[in-house]
Amino acid sequence: MVLKWAGKDRKRMRRRAIPKCAHHHPSWVFAWLWILTLAACLDAAQCMTQREKTDLKNEAEDLFYHGYNSYMKYAFPEDELRPVSCTPLTRDRANPAHIEVNDVLGNYSLTLVDSLSTLAILASEPSSGRTNRHLEAFQNGVQELVIQYGDGTDGPAGQGLRERGFNLDSKVQVFETVIRGLGGLLSAHLFAVGDLPIRGYNPPSGGAIFARKWDKSSAESHESGIKWPNGMIYDGQLLRLAYDLGNRLIPAFYTSTGIPYPRVNLRDGVPFYEKSPLNFDPEAGQCDAGQQGTPEVTETCSAGAGSLVLEMTVLSRLTADDRFEELAKRAFWAIWNRRSAIGLIGTGIDAENGNWVGSYSGIGAGIDSFFEYAFKSYILLSNNVHPEYRVPKHAKDPRELFPALAAEEASPAGFLRVWSEAHSALKRHLYRGKTYQHPHYIQGDLHTGATRAYWIDSLSSFYPGLLTLAGEIDEAIEIQLLTTALWTRFSALPERWNLGTGSIEGGLGWWGGRPEFIESNYYLYQATRDPWYLHVAEMALRDIKRRCWTRCGWAGIQDVRTGELSDRMESFFLSETAKYLFLLFDESHPLNQLDGPFVFNTEGHPLIIPPNVGTRRQLRATSEGDVLKQQGGFGVCPRAPPSLPFSASITAARDDVFHAAVLARLHLMPSRGSTDSFVGEYAVDHPSISLQDIRSPSNYTYFPWTLPPELVSHNATSAPLLSRPSFDISFPALPNMGTPVAPLQRVKEGILINHIGGLRLGMVQDVPILMNGGSGEAYRINLVNNLALGKDEKTRTLHVFGM
Q: Which of 103, 195, 409, 516 is catalytic?
A: 516
End-to-end CA distance of the chain: 73
Q: Rounded to whole angstroms, how far apart are CA atoms 373 and 336? A: 12
- Give the separation between CA 231 and CA 211, rounded to whole angstroms: 16
* DSSP strands (E only) in 142-237: 171-173, 226-227, 233-234
DSSP state of 661: H
Please state, in angstroms and rounded to a whole number, the distance separating the CA atoms of residues 245 and 475: 39
Helix H or strand E segment including 796: strand 794-797
Q: Is 176 a catalytic residue?
A: yes
Per DSSP, the chain holds a count of helices (H) and strands (E) of: 24, 31
| E strand or H helix at 327 | helix 323-336
In 3D space, the residue among 758, 757, 764 whose CA is nearest the CA of residue 793 turns out to be 764
Residues 6+ apart with CB under 8 A from 735: 757
144 is catalytic: no
CA–CA separation, 562 vs 560, rounded Å?
A: 6
Q: 351 with 255: CB under 8 angstroms?
A: yes
**Does the annotation flag 298 for ligand binding?**
no
- Is 516 considered catalytic here? yes
Q: Among 79, 114, 151, 176, which one carries the catalytic annotation?
A: 176
Q: What's the angle, vertex CA 658, arms to CA 654 and CA 661, rounded to 5?
A: 130
CB contact at 8 A, 600 and 468 = no
- The alpha carbon of residue 723 and the mean position of all alpha carbons in its chain are separated, in whole angstroms, by 32
What is the rounded distance in angstroms from the CA atom of residue 665 to the CA atom of residue 649?
24
Give the HSE-up count for residue 100: Cα atoms under 13 Å, Cβ half-sphere. 4
Residue 432's beta-bridge partner residues?
440
| Whole-angstrom distance, CA of residue 290 vs CA of residue 286 | 12
Rounded Cα distance between 304 and 306, Å, is 6
Task: Provide the 10 A C-beta neighbour count for residue 280.
Answer: 15
Catalytic-role residue among 80, 151, 368, 538: 368
Question: Which segments of 234-301 does DSSP mark as H helices, in order?
Answer: 237-249
Contact 553, 71 (CB under 8 A): yes
The 10 Å Cβ neighbour count of residue 612 is 12
Torsion sign, CA atoms 370, 165, 257, 102: negative
- Give the span between the Cα atoms of 536 and 465, in whole angstroms: 14
- H/E stretch holding 775 reads strand 774-784
Length of the chain: 803
Yes or no: say if 514 and 664 are a contact pair by the CB < 8 Å rule: no
Q: Closest Cα to residue 365, out of 443, 438, 464, 434? A: 443
3-state secondary structure 686-719: CCCCCHHHCECCCCCCCCCCCCCHHHCCCCCCCC
**Which one is catalytic: 114, 125, 372, 495?**
495
The verdict on whether 368 is a catalytic residue reads: yes
CA-only gyration radius of the chain, Å: 28
**Alpha-carbon gap, residue 277 to 251, rounded angstroms:** 10
Q: In whole angstroms, give the CA distance from residue 114 to residue 186.
A: 11
Catalytic residues: 176, 368, 495, 516
Binding-site residue positions for Ca(2+): 602
Binding-site residue positions: 602
